[in-house]
């Protein structure tokens, strides 16, 4: 839950951005989301490939295609799920943050905090 001071500061920041011509238009906001989304997807694909190579180098086997299959050993299924899941999640987070930062530097806009 946000404090009253936090809400007031957020409102003043938004007013200041609008006064300085830094308000985020709806099309620009959508473009930012698309840009960050494409960066996140690309980073996820690369991270998955890197995780596959790490798995092969470490275990000597290809990663399981279907870790949920009963034919796959529990340790292998959990290990692959952890490695690939963390690699993709961290890569997507980093790519989204970098893309958003680059977008705001180029467009001279302040990052807009998301409300929860």
pLDDT tens by residue, 58-94: 999 999 989 999 999 999 999 999 999 999 999 999 9
Q: Are 109 and 24 a contacting pair, CB within 8 Å?
A: yes
Confidence of residue 104 (pLDDT cuts 50, 70, 90): confident
pLDDT digits (tens, 9 = 90+) for 6-64: 555 454 444 444 444 455 677 788 888 999 999 999 999 999 999 999 999 999 999 99
d(CA 79, CA 11): 46
Map tokens 């920041």 to a residue: 13
Quote the pLDDT of residue 109. Answer: 63
Q: What is the per-residue pLDDT for 41?
A: 95
Residue 27, domain member (yes or no): yes
DSSP H/E element including 80: helix 74-107
pLDDT score recorded for residue 14: 45
From residue 71, how far is each of 59, 67, 74, 75 by CA, in Å?
17, 9, 9, 12
The reply to whether 116 falls in a domain is: no
**CB within 8 Å of 81: residues ≥ 6 apart:** 67
Is residue 70 a part of any domain in this protein? yes
How many domains are there within the chain?
1
* Domain-embedded: residue 39: yes
42 domain residue, yes or no: yes
| pTM score | 0.67
- Euclidean distance between the first and final Cα of the chain, in Å? 8
| Residue 110 predicted with pLDDT over 70 | no
Q: Phi and psi dihedrals of 81, rounded to 5?
A: -60, -45
Q: pLDDT value at position 27?
A: 79
Give the per-residue pLDDT at 8: 53
Structural domain includes residue 7: no
Residue 96 CA to residue 39 CA, distance in Å, equals: 6
Q: What are the Cα distances from residue 54, in Å, to 20, 41, 42, 49, 101?
A: 49, 20, 19, 9, 30
Q: Which domain holds residue 102?
A: 22-107
Flag whether 56 is in a domain: yes
CA torsion sign for 29, 30, 35, 41 is positive
Q: Tell me whether residue 34 is in a domain.
A: yes
């Amino acid at each position: 839950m946000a404090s009253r001071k936090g809400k007031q500061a957020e409102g003043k920041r938004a007013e200041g951005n609008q006064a300085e011509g830094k308000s985020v238009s709806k099309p620009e906001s959508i473009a930012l989301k698309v840009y960050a989304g494409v960066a996140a997807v690309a980073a996820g694909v690369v991270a998955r490939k890197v995780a596959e190579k790490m798995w092969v180098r470490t275990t000597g086997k290809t990663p399981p295609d279907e870790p949920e299959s009963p034919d796959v050993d529990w340790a292998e299924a959990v290990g692959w799920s952890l490695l690939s899941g963390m690699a993709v999640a961290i890569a997507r987070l980093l790519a989204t943050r970098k893309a958003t930062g680059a977008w705001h530097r180029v467009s001279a806009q302040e990052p807009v905090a998301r409300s929860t």
